[in-house]
Chains A and B, each alone.
Chain A
Amino acid sequence: MSDEKTTLGVEDAAAIAKLARLDLDQDVLARFAGQFNAILGYMDKLSELDTSGVEPMYSPSEHATVFREDRADNDRFSRDDVLSNAPESDGSFFIVPKIV
């Protein structure tokens, strides 16, 4: 646990926006940076609790793992269904702007 408060600047917000492929102008980035800091401030508040000796919880669910049996079923969706939301398709493939 660190005592340091985490704060994000506009540049951090810009980096996160870039990773999310969002093109945002400076005003919006500044607004998001402020909101991020509000969220992080709340996390910092939680960090004040002494959790030494407490097992980390990865999920609030107490259920046992739910498994599927390994059986293939390909008939739930047709290819036309799968491709129907694609902006561009040739009936076989999704077509996207060239990526390399």
Chain B
Amino acid sequence: MTQYETVIGLEVHAQLNTESKLFCPCSTSFGQEPNTNVCEVCSGMPGVLPVLNRTAVEYAAKMAMAVDCVVNEHSVFARKNYFYPDLPKGYQISQYELPLAEHGHLDIEVKGETKRIGITRIHMEDDAGKSIHSASDNASYVDLNRTGTPLIEIVSEPDMRGPEEAVAYLRELHAILVNLGICDGNMEQGSFRCDANVSIRPFGQEEFGTRAELKNMNSFRNVQRALEYEIERQKDLVEDGDKVVQETRLYDADKNATFSMRGKEEAHDYRYFPDPDLIPIKLDPAWLEDWRKELPESPQARKQRFLDQYGLPEDDALILALDRALAQYYEAAVSAHNEPKMIANWMLSELLRELNQSGISVSECKLTPEALAELVRIIDEGLISGKIGKQIFPELFTQGGSAEAYVKDKGLVQISDTSALDAAVDEVLAENPDEVAAYKGGNKKVVGFFMGQIMKKTQGQANPKLVNEILAKKLNT
């Protein structure tokens, strides 16, 4: 049977998180009342003039530099003409012949191997609006709030050979965008969208097979599943002697299948031409130099530094380094209490769990990095046990404030007073003569039972290390 190779190229649209739109001062804020972020420019009134948002250009150029693109000092906006109700101008302002940046690349890691994926180009464009389709009254409702929001389109080379590589590339690209602080990366709200060009060819064949373009995949998991489905669909077609048709297909997550989007894009003729309302972008090399200096440490470089500097395991370093806010939190905590591994453990288990459950981001979290460091420190110092630390974590997380003040206030401070513990140990031993006899008879496991009883008596506040020492002393004499 013929073995097939998959070829995937990706087009990513990322919304730049500027305050205002690409060509007008309307706000880009999400979730506003319909058609309230709209003006004469973004609603496509005749005779208006678009004026380019400088910050959008800066963000786009920074992304280009972060993936080693050549940023063109000279680039041109073009009109991409098509009719759709969410595109009031009748054309999208995009870049065609002379994009902002070209010839970049991104290194991804799949199954322990590094692979370089080419980035063909990055160009700027304005986003379309949104339509809601009503089933009942045979109408569509158009909201232009998103119309004119700045986007960059990042086009890869067809360098990926399977869904895993495609997802690894997307995750990496996503991390870089978010790390630069130029895109919020929210896939569900559409701030980070991806289209995939997929084809198969027999192994060893040079030329590409006919490709299908997949759209509507709004999570990394859906990208993976959509690609897997589409590859199988194409193999089945070819093996049955049919041909793959070049077309756009929509992924339906509920059915886990792709469906042909016939009709809409028939006659794919956008008749691009340079936009006469916008003169070419000329970038001052001095600006480019300034922007390059402002680039933050990349997620990959940070991961390497976390491995070297803090001796973290690979997986932990990756999670903490990929997200810039999480990494900043981590380093702030470590600088407050220099126990990098302990702090990593508390963040990866307790903190991430609480963040996930409450659905808030680390920057909104009330428990400051200093307070987390303090919690780890008072456990180190024996003021409270790790177990108490875990018990009080959710409350510290929701209310914030000092961990030390909290445990003192609640009377949770560990009993490290030997005389108090002595008494508790004596009581427990006196109450359980059978277990004491068992211990003396060689059953060392009953120590755990004694420990449990002592903890119960002290409401979990006994210092377990001290209890162990006292128990050993009393039982072995």
Contact = CB atoms under 8 A, between A and B. Distances in A.
Interface in A58-100: 58-59, 61, 63-74, 76-77, 79, 82-83, 88, 90, 92-100
Contact of A21 (B25, B57, B83, B276): B83
Interface of B: 18-20, 25-29, 33-40, 43, 51-57, 76, 81-85, 98, 131-134, 138-144, 267, 269, 271, 274, 276, 279-282
A65 B281 contact: yes
Given A59-B280, A79-B33, A92-B33, A69 B54 contact: yes
Nearest to B270: A19
Nearest to A68: B51
A61 B142 CA distance: 36
Interface in A27-66: 58-59, 61, 63-66
19 contacts: A15-B269, A19-B271, A65-B52, A65-B280, A66-B52, A68-B25, A69-B54, A71-B25, A72-B19, A72-B27, A74-B25, A74-B36, A77-B38, A82-B38, A82-B43, A88-B139, A92-B143, A94-B85, A96-B85
B51 A67 contact: yes
Contact of B39 (A58, A76, A93, A94): A76
Contacts of A82: 35, 38-39, 43, 144
A65 B26 CA distance: 20
A68 B144 contact: no
The 5 A-B pairs at the shortest CB distance, nearest first, are namely A70-B55, A67-B54, A93-B141, A72-B27, A94-B142
Contacts of A99: 84-85, 131, 133, 140
Interface residues of A, number: 35
A18 interface: yes
Contacts, number: 127
B25 A59 contact: no
Nearest to B274: A58
Contacts of A21: 83
A5 B420 CA distance: 103
A30 to B, nearest CB: 21
B38 A72 contact: no
A61 B49 CA distance: 15
B44 to A, nearest CB: 11
B308 to A, nearest CB: 37
Q: Which of A59, A63, A77 has the most CB of B within 10 A?
A: A77
A96 B142 contact: yes
A54 to B, nearest CB: 15
A74 B54 contact: no
Contacts of B35: 79, 82-83, 92-94
A18 to B, nearest CB: 7
A77 B40 contact: yes
Contact of B52 (A15, A61, A67, A73): A67
A97 B279 contact: no
Contacts of B56: 70
Nearest to A86: B142
Q: Which of B28, B140, B144 has the most CB of A within 10 A?
A: B140
